[in-house]
Amino acid sequence: MGRFATGKFALGVSDRSGFVYRLNDMRLEWTGSLVGPEEWEKKQPQLDPRRHVSDPQALRDPRPTTPSVLTIHIAVPNVADNGNWRPMNCFGQVGQVSVNSVEAGVTVNLTGGSATSAVGSVSATPITTYAITVANPGAGNKYYIDGVQQATLTLNEGSIYRLDQANGTNGSHPLRFSITSDGTHSGGTEYTTGVTVNGGAGNPGAYTEIEVATGAPTLYYYCTNHSGMGGQANTP
């Protein structure tokens, strides 16, 4: 291939203005245009798109906080023992505590942290248990609550109550709640908010339990099979 001439006397026409310049003095722009030396302009930075680089998210060799296992010793009042405080043991982690073992006759639910100010506090919600039996005082079968015929109960919001139907006299008399006196026998429906039923009435371990919701209405307990057995449960 032949060599190019030096062009020291050559002239060139500007691609922009049409003016004539010495060819060796002309400059090539970023657009590819050959222009005179005073016409040359560098490329504006704004013409190049900005690079979008994501901020790093992951940490190298992180050291996250790990839950601390703790042992808690607390006591709750035992209704069956004249209100005397009974100790109980439980274990868990900060933010979650589970019951490990309790004294006989004491049932609690736990929420919160631990027993020290460094990690929070433990709150215990005892389950108040009522013993349910059935007897006929002469006007048909009636529920007896802790030995009181058709006793009027007081169920406080946020508290848990267990109506224990393990006694054999409860057979064929399952207890339920309703907002209507005598429940389904008076055209009402069963109330189920916060209610748990376990086992069959009259069998060991059978109970109907309720965690009273905020704003719960006045309730009535009744037998699903027979009318006129139940009573009222106020929810102040």
In whole angstroms, give the CA distance from residue 166 to residue 75: 26
In whole angstroms, give the CA distance from residue 92 to residue 222: 39
DSSP-derived letter for residue 184 is G
Give residue-wise pLDDT tens across range 150-202.
999 999 999 999 999 999 999 999 999 999 999 999 999 999 999 999 999 99
pLDDT at residue 219 above 90?
Answer: yes
DSSP-derived letter for residue 139 is S
In whole angstroms, give the CA distance from residue 18 to residue 111: 86
- CATH 3.10.20.600 assigned to 128-234: no
Residue 73: which residues within 8 A CB-CB, separation 6 or more?
87, 88, 89, 115
Q: Can you list the alpha helix ranges (DSSP code H) found in 66-212? A: none
pLDDT at 19: 93
Task: Spell out the domain ranges in the chain.
Answer: 11-42, 69-120, 128-234
Q: How many CA atoms lie within 13 A of 192 on its CB side?
A: 3
pLDDT at 106: 46
Give residue-wise pLDDT tens across range 25-64.
999 999 899 999 999 998 888 888 777 777 777 888 888 7
Q: For the beta carbon of residue 212, count every other beta carbon within 10 angstroms.
A: 20
Structure token pair of residue 153: 């109960």
Give residue-wise pLDDT tens across range 122-162.
555 678 999 999 999 998 999 999 999 999 999 999 999 99
